[in-house]
Structures are given as C-alpha cells and as structure tokens.
Amino acid sequence: MKKKEFKEGDLVMMFNARHHHMVYKKLLPKWFGPFVIRKVFINNGFYELENVDGSPYLDRINHDKLKKVLDM
C-alpha cells in the first residue's frame, strides 16, 4: 500500500472503524471529520489531530485511516 503523506494544517477525514464490523454498515457513515493535522510523526506514519474548533483529538491515527478533504 502506498503511504499517504500529509503535512501540518491539512484537513483530513478519518475512517469510521467503530462501525466497520456491524451488519448494517451500509447505513452508517464510513468517514467522519474534518480534522486538522496537528503534528506529524514521520518515522512511524502516525498523525496527531485536532478538531476544527482547535480542541485536540486524543488518539494518534495511522496514515491508512485518513484521507485528504478535497477543496471544492
């Protein structure tokens, strides 16, 4: 899998892994957010996120669970 790279300040959406195993997953959103990249950990591919209001998201997220928000 090709490693996605984001930089600080990018807007991203996060994969909704909490509902991925449920039977009725067709009705649930696959992505949620947007979040802002707060800090990049280059060595291991993890990212620290914050909500758009500036409050930090508590967990570090791996690059394969994120996708960039397209500018419209």
Indicate the pTM of the whole model.
0.77
Domain borders along the chain are 11-20+28-68
Burial 24-37 (b: 16+ CB within 10 A, else e): eeeeeeeeebebbb
The highest-level CATH class for domain 11-20+28-68 is mainly beta
Task: Tell me the CB-side half-sphere exposure of residue 7, using CA atoms within 13 A.
Answer: 0
pLDDT in tens, the chain (72 residues): 556 788 999 999 998 776 656 555 667 778 888 999 999 998 888 999 999 999 999 889 898 889 999 754
